[in-house]
Amino acid sequence: MLTKDSKSEISADQPVIEIRDLHKSYGDLEVLKGVSMTAPRGHVTSLIGSSGSGKSTLLRCANLLEDSQRGEILFNGEPILWKGDGPHRRPADRKQVTRIRTNLSMVFQQFNLWAHMTILENVMEAPVTVLGRDRKEVEEKARIYLDKVGIGDKCDVYPAQMSGGQQQRAAIARALCMEPQALLFDEPTSALDPELEQEVIKVIKALAEEGRTMIIVTHDMRMASDISDHVVFLHKGLIEEEGHPSELFGKPKSERLKQFLSATVPA
């Protein structure tokens, strides 16, 4: 079993996340119907598709925020251990789940910042309380990450005093401060107006250029085309088509993808 101390032993060719034949239902509603995908190390994978296609559910299952009913999830080649079957399936080892989640930082559509904490305190909270890191060292890194996302001057303000774009950039800094092996984004710009959206897209593009491992659920086809190494188009809980963005956006094969792109990509 892999541990934090064995990170250096992981092959560069080993995907950070592998998903094999994943199934997820809510009661009688089957949302994922057998999805398989990988998140290679240092690559950006974008998940696109219409509302209800299963994109966000797939991301939440990858981060173990949702329990799937069938299929495998592997982190750095280590399979998640399960107990029970079907609707009763749950992770068997809570310590394993906690360890893996600390290496997968998620940025949500809603910023989920703590209103009673300053921005600096928001960014520092998880590394200090969850990982038990030294407060002084975490503060130094938190300030660096806030500078990286362009809001280093906002350390002492509260979320309510910031724009939506600034709050989302603070949420990205908070995710980075955990120093994860992968960043997961769930529609990071959909709650923002176009001007503020561009602030956040600029930050995500810069992270992609650094070679960070990322999975991004997005409605922004231009961003997906610009920064992705691989794009997955989900339709009704299945992968309808996937590939390099130049192929997927330039030469779509399936009629459903052609329809989707004609409705979502500006002329």
pLDDT at 195: 86
pLDDT at 266: 65
* Tokens at 144, concatenated: 């660096």
Q: Which residue has the higher pLDDT, 150 or 2?
A: 150
Amino acid at 226: D
Q: Kindly list the domain boundaries of the chain, sorted by start residue.
A: 114-179
> Residue 46: how many CA atoms within 13 Å on its side-chain side?
26
> What are the b/e assignments for 72-100, b being 16+ CB within 10 Å?
ebbbbebebebeeeeeebebeeeebbebb
CB contact at 8 A, 232 and 216: no
The pLDDT of 5-17, averaged and rounded, is: 71
pTM for this model (two decimals): 0.92
Has residue 3 got a pLDDT over 90? Answer: no
Band of residue 115 on the pLDDT scale cut at 50, 70, 90: very high
pLDDT at 212: 95
- Full DSSP string of 83-95: ES-GGG-EES-HH
d(CA 24, CA 172): 28
CB contact at 8 A, 198 and 122: no
Has residue 27 got a pLDDT over 80? Answer: yes
Has residue 8 got a pLDDT over 50? Answer: no
Going along the chain, which residue ranges are E strands?
17-26, 29-39, 44-48, 70-75, 78-79, 82-83, 90-91, 104-107, 182-186, 214-217, 230-235, 238-243
Q: What angle do CA 192, 252, 226 make, to 5 degrees?
A: 40
pLDDT (tens digit per residue) in 193-241 = 888 899 999 999 999 999 999 999 999 999 999 999 999 999 999 999 9
Band of residue 119 on the pLDDT scale cut at 50, 70, 90: very high
* Tokens at 104, concatenated: 């997968």
CB contact at 8 A, 239 and 37: yes
Amino acid at 200: V
